[in-house]
Structures are given as C-alpha cells and as structure tokens.
Amino acid sequence: MSFPWANEYKPKHPAMVWLDEKLPLPRFVYNAVGAGYPVPRNLNYMWNFGVLAGFCLVIQIVTGIVLAMHYAANTEVAFSSTEHIMRDVNWGWMLRYAHANGASAFFVVVYAHIFRGFYFGSYKAPREMIWLLGVVIFLLMMATAFMGYVLPWGQMSFWGAQVITGLFSAIPLVGDGLHQWLLGGFAPDNAALNRFFSLHFLLPFVILGVVILHIWALHIPGSSNPTGVEVKSESDTVPFHPYYTAKDGFGLAVFLFLYCAMLFFFPNALGHPDNYIPANPMQTPAHIVPEWYFWPFYAILRAFTADLTIPFTHIVLVPAKLLGVLAMFSAILVWFALPWLDTSPVRSGHYRPRFRKIYWALVIDVVVLGYCGGSPAEEPFVMISQIAAAYYFLHFFIILPLVSMTETPQPLPFSITESVLGKDEAATLAPAE
C-alpha cells in the first residue's frame, strides 16, 4: 500500500521494461526505498537510525563471513585461531575489530532507534506489527551477540556462557535437564562452542529475514513522524529518494566516522581485558561482566537477591535466581505489550507533558541500571540497582498506563504541513476534527 500520490515506477530503458514485465525487482526497490515511497517531510535525525541499523547488520554479516573462513570452533584452538586472525591473516586485525566494535555500534544504533520509538510513540496503532517485529529483532540480536562473544573462548567468553546458560537451570523441574541439553554437557565445552558457532552464523540471516518483514510492515501505514499526526495530503510528504537517501547518506557518513574512530584508535575500549586470557574452567574471574549492551538487563537479573518466602516462615515460594531470570526476561518482553499499555491517542512525546517527564526519568533509570550492571556485585551498586529496577518495572507496568489514561495532551497541529510551514491550506477546507 502507499499513498495515492506516490510516484509510479516507469522504466525507460528497453532492458528495464523487459525485466519489469518478467520480475519487477527494480519496481520493488523503487517503491521500498526509492522515489516511490512517500515519507513525511518533517523527520528529524532520530529517523536516521533505522537505515543505520540495517547498515550495521550488513557490516556484521560481511566481516563475519570472512572471519568465519579463518576461525576454528574448537576449544583447543579457538583462542589461538582468533590470535591467528589478529596476527597472520591479511587485514585480519581490522576485520576482527570491525566485527567486535560493529556489534557495539549496532547496539548503540538500535538503542537509539528503540528509544526514538518510545518517545514518539512509534509502537502505537497502526504500527504495532512494526514494533512487535522490532522487539523480535532485538531479542535475536541479543542472542546472536551473546553467542558471538563466546567464540574467542577467552575467560569472559567461557564464564559469560556459564552464567547465561545457567539462567535456564533456574526453571523449576526441567531447568537442569534443559541446561544440559542446551550446552550438550554439564558446563560450556566443545559441544557448546560448536553449536554457538553454528547458531551465531545462522541467526544474522534470521535477523535479516525479520528485518525484511519489519520494513514490509512499515510500508503498510508508512513512516511515523515527530508530530505523530498522520499524513493527510501530498504536501505532507516527500519521496524517499532523493530526500531521505541524501539525509541518510549524511547520517551514514557521520556514523562511519565515529565507528572508524573506535575501530582504529580505541578498538578494545569496550571489551574486557579478561577476554584476552584463554578460557580456564578452573579459574573464575574476579568479576563476571557481560558486554556493555547487556548491562541494564544484567543489573535487573542481579537485583533480585532475596527469595520470595511465605511470610514468617522459611518456605521458599520462588527462589531469588528464578525471580531474577523472570524479571530480566519480563523487562524486555513487556515491550511487546507496549502498544496496549500506552493507551493515549497522542503518539508524539512532544505533545504529552507528563509522558515526557517519565520518559526522561526512564532514560536516566536505564543509564543507572547500566552503570550498576557493569560494576561489581557489591554495595552500594546492588541497592542502587534494586531501586532502579523497581522504577523500571513501575514505569512500564504501572506509571505509563496511568499517565496515558490521565494526562491532558497539548493541542496537535492539524497536519505535518502546518507544523512545518505554520499553516496548511488544506486545513481550511477540511472539517474540524
């Protein structure tokens, strides 16, 4: 579907006419990311991050495929094959640093994309499906990143795998069996490394598939915009190409500049030194910490330090570990429910004064959680993360639904055109809403 005023693809060259009749692939691209896709004219720079995320996926797939040609997924040699890439493979150091920092860049971009969605209500009708698919992509990314971090088989790889797969053993009754089945053993070892490598290679292509669905679903209602007012007329939109290809091109160049600055000058700044020590199952690192992009969720996991008992007895209803695991997963899964928790008909945070306050409180809260998640599991970090995690749950499960029911939004512009130009001639013709 598209707006009636969308440009139509008209092949000029006879070869393209021929191709368009047999397989309208150019038409498809033209309508998806070309001049055939009308996009609101008022998108700000926060709308650059979707394209950037797609670009990151491409970086990861391309560098990853070449790295896989040189890497050996066997616990005996995995670490030294990584060093072989760093030392002996032509430009291997650049590929590996591009891939490791590419993962971080991907998460930076995706977090920006998600928080843009939070602020501008991008998850609301009619765009729920885009949002749901986006959360699926995020979950797949987390699984892929986790398994990728295990592959070099350093200390943090091994102990990270130990901790994260250990989460499954918290499930009542079937937990231990499930844990061993997932690992192919009692602890991370060669069987686990092999399947992680296999899945780490597979999942990016699954992500690619879901990304295609995500974009497909986007093209049904069209892109959202900072006012949250739906497109009403042709003057509200511009064709994606050349307007947004140009703007995304600029965003991409700036992104690549920052990414390459990390890659060439601070390639290990986001990594942990312990992962340059080969995995040693007999020696636990002083502090096991995951990569930075998992820190907020890791903090939520560790915040649950007390078993849930029947009051005044010592009968444990839910052990702390299981609570932590349930909470950590709920912290992400609640995003699936967001379109139905936030019932305010106004999408954009620009016109929601109370929502704006709780939004920024959430941003600060997640940063605090992240800081605690990267710190050792000691006081005061545990107590701070308990308060911050409590706020996180209050925000999504209670405060956000309440605010959306009670707040009075500010008046919306009649249309995107009016918000940009200050007036919209169509407004005088249309009946008042």
Partner 1 sequence: MPRLIAALVGAFFTLCLLIAFGTGLVSYISEPPAKTVEAAFHKAPNEDFHLQSDGPFGTFNRQQLQRGFQVYKEVCSACHSLSYVAFRDLKEIGYNDAEVKAIAAGFKVPVYNAATGELKTRDGVPTDHFPPVVYGGSGSPPNLSLITKARHGGAAYVHSLLTGYTDQPAELLKKYPESKTPDGLFYNPYFANLNIAMPPPLVSDGQVSYKDGTKATVDQMATDVAAFLVWTAEPKLEKRHQTGWPVLGFLLFASVLAYMAYRNVWADKKH
Give helix then strand counts, H and E, for the chain. Answer: 17, 4
Task: Give burial (CB, 10 Å; 0-12/13-18/19+) of 411.
Answer: exposed
Min separation Cβ 109 and partner 1, Å:
16
How far apart CA 182 and CA 177 sit, in angstroms, is 9
- Nearest distance in Å: CB 75, partner 1: 17
Beta-sheet strands, E only, within 316-402: 316-318
Annotated active-site residue 291? The verdict is: yes
Backbone φ and ψ of 293, nearest 5°:
-70, -10
Active site residue 8: no
Contact 234, 3 (CB under 8 A): yes
Among 247, 347, 350, 352, binds partner 1 (CB under 8 A): 247
Residue 23's alpha-carbon distances to 17, 27, 253, 414, in angstroms, are: 10, 9, 33, 41
Within 297-356, the residues that bind partner 1 by CB under 8 A are 303-306, 308, 320, 323, 327, 330, 334, 337, 340-341, 343
Nearest CB to partner 1, comparing residues 158 and 207 = 158
**Is 248 an annotated catalytic residue?**
yes
Active site annotation includes 379 = no
Q: Is 12 a catalytic residue?
A: no
* Nearer to partner 1 (CB atom), residue 211 or residue 372: 372
Sketch the per residue contact string, 261 through 300, with partner 1: x for CB under 8 A, - otherwise. Answer: x-xxx-xx----xx-xx--------x--------------
Among the candidate windows 108-116, 142-150, 204-212, 255-263, which touches partner 1 by CB under 8 A?
255-263
Cross-strand bridge partners of residue 278: 154
For residue 131, give the H/E element and its range.
helix 128-150
| 207 vs 263, beta carbon nearer partner 1 | 263
Residue 74 makes contact with partner 1 by CB under 8 A? no
**Residue 238 DSSP SS3:** strand
Residues 239 and 241: their CA atoms lie apart, in Å, by 5
Q: What string marks each residue from 81 to 120 as x (binds partner 1 by CB under 8 A) or -?
A: --x--xx-----xx--x-----------------------
Query: CB of 22: closest distance to partner 1 in angstroms?
Result: 33
CB atoms under 10 Å from CB of 52, counted, come to 23
Q: Which of 253, 269, 429, 432 binds partner 1 (CB under 8 A)?
A: 253
Residues 6+ apart with CB under 8 A from 415: 229, 232, 233, 236, 424, 426, 427
Cβ neighbours for 79, distance < 8 A, ≥ 6 positions apart = 152, 153, 154, 278, 279
| Touching partner 1, residues 27-56 (CB under 8 A) | 41-43
Q: With beta carbons less than 8 A apart as the criterion, state whether 305 and 298 touch.
A: no
Catalytic residues: 219, 223, 247-248, 291
Residue ranges that bind partner 1, judged by CB under 8 A: 41-43, 80, 83, 86-87, 93-94, 97, 238, 242-243, 246-247, 249-250, 252-254, 256-257, 260-261, 263-265, 267-268, 273-274, 276-277, 286, 303-306, 308, 320, 323, 327, 330, 334, 337, 340-341, 343, 378-379, 382-383, 386-387, 389-390, 393-394, 396-398, 401, 420-421
